[in-house]
Amino acid sequence: MLRSGQRAAKGPSGEGHKGDGYGAPRIGARGLGAQEMSQGVLGVIVESELFRSRRSLLHRGRRIGTDERVVVKTLREPHPSPALIAWARREFELLESLSGVDGVLGVHDFGRSGETVGMALEDIGGLSLAELTRESRLPLDEVLRLMSRVAQTLSNVHAAGVIHKDINPSNIVYNRGTGQYRIIDFGIATLLAVEDAPFDDSRAREGTLAYI
């Protein structure tokens, strides 16, 4: 688990970070080979692609043997460096430490996935707010109710000693049918205990520029 004194995560390259986001599913698991498709990734049969960023791939699938719906997040880079693996594991451990906070994405497993590593995550069957609002606007009263709940979740995350550092529409997943929501992508989150860590790279930008 995370310990006080760990440095904030900027990603292994020290470059700015772009959130994961959940887009509309695309059938077929591009980026995963036929062997991974047939054998399952982290005990999951992958069914559709949700999103791909510069570092990560997100897919929807179901657990082998139980049919539980999950999201699989893997690193795009084959044979990732130890630094990249540590970065991914840190996000998993941080999410695991927030498992008691309502509104934070739940995690199941972390492990090897073919030639890379990844984690199995909770799936509430929703899409990111960025995707939901791309074609139409949500009713104002619905947005206000949702943002009030998200603000309470962030308050509880801060009370647990964590700062997300990249809250934007791509990192809030919402299921309009059930009313469930989750804050996702803690890849650059930091602990409050180390927020005063020395500034060491003036070229690095953390977070999404429009929402900083």
- Residues noted as catalytic: 166
Cα separation, 186 vs 166, whole angstroms: 8
Residue 174 is inside which H or E element, if any? strand 172-174
Cα separation, 28 vs 26, whole angstroms: 6
Q: What is the dihedral of CA 150, 154, 159, 164, to 10 degrees?
A: 160
Residue 52 is inside which H or E element, if any? strand 44-52
Distances 59 to 1, 45, 68, 136, 167 between C-alpha atoms, Å: 25, 10, 14, 24, 21
Secondary structure (3-state) at 74: strand
Q: What is the dihedral of CA 154, 92, 24, 38, to 10 degrees?
A: -160
Number of CB atoms found within 10 A of residue 99's CB: 11
